Structure 1
Amino acid sequence: MAAPLRITQIWRYPVKGLGGQQLTSTDLGRDGIALDRVLGLTHDRVPLSPFGHWTTYDAFHALDARPDLGGFSARAIDSENGAKIEVRTPRGETAAVTLDSSGAIADDSALTPGTVSRWFGTSTTTARLVSSGSHLWDLADAPISIINEASVRAVGRAVGHDLDPRRFRANLYVDSDEPWSELHLLGRTITIGGVELEVLRPIERCQAISVDPTRGGRDINLPGALYAHFGHLFCGVYARVVRTGEIHDGDPIDSDRRPQPAVSLAGATVNEARSAPRPGSISRVEAPARDAASLLIEDSTGTLSQAAPGQHLRLHGTSGERPWWRNYTISGVDARGVRITVRRLEDGLASPIVHDLRASADVLVSGPYGEATADPQGPDHLVVLTAGIGITPALSIARALQDANSDRAVDFVHVDRSREAIPHWDEIERAATALPNVRHHLFLTRSDAHPGVHHEGRPTGEFLSSLITDASQTELHVCGPATFLQDVRHFAAERGIGDDAIHADPFYSPRHDVPEPREAPRAGPFRVEFARSGQVYEWDPSCGTLLDLADKRGQSLPASCRAGACGTCAVKVTGDVFYTLEPVTPAPAGQTLICCAVPTSDVVIS
């Protein structure tokens, strides 16, 4: 159960994208805090919704692409003639606009369109201050954002910096003695005095949190740090108001004491739903082999139960001396949840902690992830090659084959130290017994191999060749140590099996260093063509990354974190590029993360 929480700060942000105004108390209505994000700075590249309706975040200048906005702030001023919103520049200049009773900006406002353009416009983009007649929250159904200062401190410890919580632009700052306890509030109703909030979903972060909230400009790659140290890009939660009323600094927050409820991620994209860290619980723990533990995990969103054979989940550790996260291949899926099978490494950070988990323990999970999947009804001959604890994807493939009553030709080839070290090998045997075209081959490297039952040693190229009748109709699924994968790739190349027919799930440990920005190695200028629009622009280092250039020139391309972690901006780039910020996660094969890349030749962005 989450640690006790208490409100430490209350903020509203009259102008979306600018710094805000601290309050000691406020009324929370159905629309959240009055005058919160009622104005925005549009760049006129995305149409605005009709007055009185919510407009998407993409229509406005924002900190992720405009870190220079960080030194600006806005506050609401009470006035007999209606609400006034005063904007302050980093130089201390101020000017205000007046809102009429409908929320529209009055024509006689002191903050004129010319001043707005001078303060916020650039050589390539316009800037107009507009009223929505509504609220411009990041999401239409989430008027309140909540940040746990304990989580901010945990991130600060991981990166070696004292972080100002104001980077996260929350409405409510809360505190507890437990980092990330706010994520265990998902799906719950919390009470603050007589006010009730429903906690909806976690908040995915972007480069806006890298901006210094007092001076502006980026000073640390916080999305990269979040991903490197915690395995996700989320900090804080969104909520909606269920029962209105007044709240104050220092108010305690109570949560319902029900067992973890189901969490709906309605409205989230597929990528957002799988990558969001969320509560899970351990429903069963087994010991299927020496030094191995299998845990059945129930996901509060049900998303993990949609995993394809070969995919993995991520466990996020929130306790212990330092944060940790690990990817674990899903070894089984059913209606109750998913199973992972973990071998204990005494010198490991995560596996001893995982082995100490017991039934009913709460965990944070995300996923499923991974492209190395197998179709139980695929047409080609499938050879599943695994070593050691790499057997886990083979187990999920075997289960899927049986569930589909598949007639696909499949050979399972596994190598391990001894029979006692192999978890759930009986599931592979059952699949081979139940299905007419499934075979299994077990290699043991110790002396307990039994001729006619097991093979001794490791599979040779000659043995593997005996399994394959047509290389052009063969698909390999491989999981094991890096050397094992290299050996299989070498064999495949000799037999004429192409890389596109090899699905590899190598063992992986996360990196904990956060890359520092680097200078572009070549000054150009270079020609950059955007193939979809046919537009061509000149790049030099003042343009920033390829994504920055796209933004400045009005080319709308998908992007999210802008830190080389989420993969949203991955596109095919023809030509040579250089990463001025090394991605925390690699780009998909044949693609480039343009949020981190600059050209070193003329390029075409597909």
Structure 2
Amino acid sequence: MNAEVTHILRHPIKSHGREAVQTVTVTPGQTMPGDRVWAVAHEASTADGSQWEPCASFSRGAKAPQLMAISSRLDGDTMTLTHPDRPDLTFDPDKDQQEFLDWVQALMPTDRAASARIIRVPGRGMTDSDYPSISLCNMASHRAVEQKLGRDLSIQRWRGNIWFDGLPLWEEFDWLNREVQVGEAVFRVRERTTRCLATTANPETGVRDADTLGALSSWGHQDFGVYAEVVRGGEISVGDKVHLL
């Protein structure tokens, strides 16, 4: 097994932007630092920040594809969001909620519940899994989807955290209930990640333009990547080796 980390991505506000980093230090039982720290509850949601909530409680790319074209930069308590159709926004997600809601309104479909408030659960990233997870993704599997569709795709469609290369396609699915070392950290792989319409939207434009779900279905599933939990903390950097234990 000769795989190594190629990209590390975090998504500070769930479904609202992504940011590449070179190094991250993970902690047992926690999500990746700076990942899904905040989430945007819509007007039909009862989420109030008191506990983890499933993705249906939040504004997200599956329902609002324009959100997929947001990029983010987190600097301490300050967030900067960029989008091809909106002016840049720099704000504090804990304090400047109205500025954000005014900014994002233009990106939301009028036939969907409007974004209502930003929430956070201290110490608990709002991952799609009901346990604190970090998603691992295989570049070979990504290239297989590209080949199936006959076009280049951005890895940002998958909103994964840690990307690696050097393994056969779909090998990550064989890691279920096993431990894998990435850099200094060790993960236990818990489950495959089932995908939704968010992945059909282009991260550059926010327009749905690729049948990613149809491509996945040709392999008899709609899964891409795996959810894993940290069992031994440590530093992970781009270029680090990936070892199945």
The question of a shared fold, defined as TM-score above 0.5 by the shorter chain, is answered with yes
Equivalents in 2 of 1:93, 1:117: separation in Å?
Answer: 11
C-alpha displacement at 1:159, in angstroms?
2.0
Q: Does 1:170 align with 2:194?
A: no
Equivalents in 1 of 2:206, 2:40: separation in Å?
Answer: 17
Equivalents in 2 of 1:163, 1:118: separation in Å?
Answer: 27
**Equivalent residue in structure 2 for 1:90, among 76, 84, 87:** 84
Provide structure 1 residue ranges, at least 5 long, that are not aligned to the other structure: 100-104, 257-606
Counterpart residue number, 1:62: 60
* Distance verdict in 2 for CA 1:129–1:96, change over 3 Å: farther
Paired positions, count:
241
Q: Which has the higher contact order (CA 8 A, sep 6+)?
A: 2
The answer (yes or no) to whether the contact 1:96–1:111 under 8 Å persists in 2 is: no
Q: How does 1:392-541 map to 2 (within 5 A)?
A: none
Equivalents in 1 of 2:200, 2:104: separation in Å?
Answer: 25
* Distance verdict in 2 for CA 1:120–1:128, change over 3 Å: farther
Percent identity over the alignment is: 26
* Distance verdict in 2 for CA 1:126–1:75, change over 3 Å: same
Counterpart residue number, 2:225: 236
Matching residue's letter, 1:149: M
The answer (yes or no) to whether the contact 1:95–1:111 under 8 Å persists in 2 is: no
* Distance verdict in 2 for CA 1:141–1:114, change over 3 Å: closer
Provide structure 2 residue ranges, at least 5 long, that are not aligned to the other structure: none
Matching residue's letter, 1:182: E
C-alpha displacement at 1:49, in angstroms?
4.7
Counterpart residue number, 1:305: none
The answer (yes or no) to whether the contact 2:5–2:163 under 8 Å persists in 1 is: yes
Secondary structure of 1:240 counterpart: strand
* Distance verdict in 2 for CA 1:220–1:121, change over 3 Å: closer
**Equivalent residue in structure 2 for 1:208, among 195, 198, 213:** 198
Q: Which runs of 4+ in 1 moved over 6 A?
A: none
* Distance verdict in 2 for CA 1:122–1:205, change over 3 Å: closer
Q: CA-to-partner distance for each residue in 1:164-219, whole Å, 9 max, x for gaps?
A: 22211100011124111111111111112321111111111111111111111111
**Equivalent residue in structure 1 for 2:119, among 131, 135, 150:** 131
Q: Does 1:155 align with 2:152?
A: no
Matching residue's letter, 1:41: V
Q: CA-to-partner distance for each residue in 1:401-429, whole Å, 9 max, x for gaps?
A: xxxxxxxxxxxxxxxxxxxxxxxxxxxxx
* Distance verdict in 2 for CA 1:66–1:24, change over 3 Å: same
* Distance verdict in 2 for CA 1:180–1:88, change over 3 Å: same
The answer (yes or no) to whether the contact 2:66–2:107 under 8 Å persists in 1 is: no
Equivalents in 2 of 1:41, 1:32: separation in Å?
Answer: 18
**Equivalent residue in structure 1 for 2:236, among 213, 237, 247:** 247
Matching residue's letter, 2:105: R
The answer (yes or no) to whether the contact 1:43–1:128 under 8 Å persists in 2 is: yes
Secondary structure of 2:239 counterpart: coil
Matching residue's letter, 2:195: R
Matching residue's letter, 2:149: V
Q: Does 1:20 align with 2:18?
A: yes
Counterpart residue number, 1:503: none
Secondary structure of 2:73 counterpart: strand
Secondary structure of 1:224 counterpart: helix
User: RMSD of the alignment, in Å?
Assistant: 1.9
Equivalents in 2 of 1:75, 1:114: separation in Å?
Answer: 18
Equivalents in 2 of 1:170, 1:189: separation in Å?
Answer: 18
Q: Does 1:7 align with 2:5?
A: yes
The answer (yes or no) to whether the contact 1:7–1:252 under 8 Å persists in 2 is: yes
Counterpart residue number, 1:573: none
**Equivalent residue in structure 2 for 1:118, among 78, 81, 105:** 105
C-alpha displacement at 1:66, in angstroms?
1.3
TM-score by length of 1: 0.38
* Distance verdict in 2 for CA 1:93–1:255, change over 3 Å: same
Which has more radius of gyration? 1
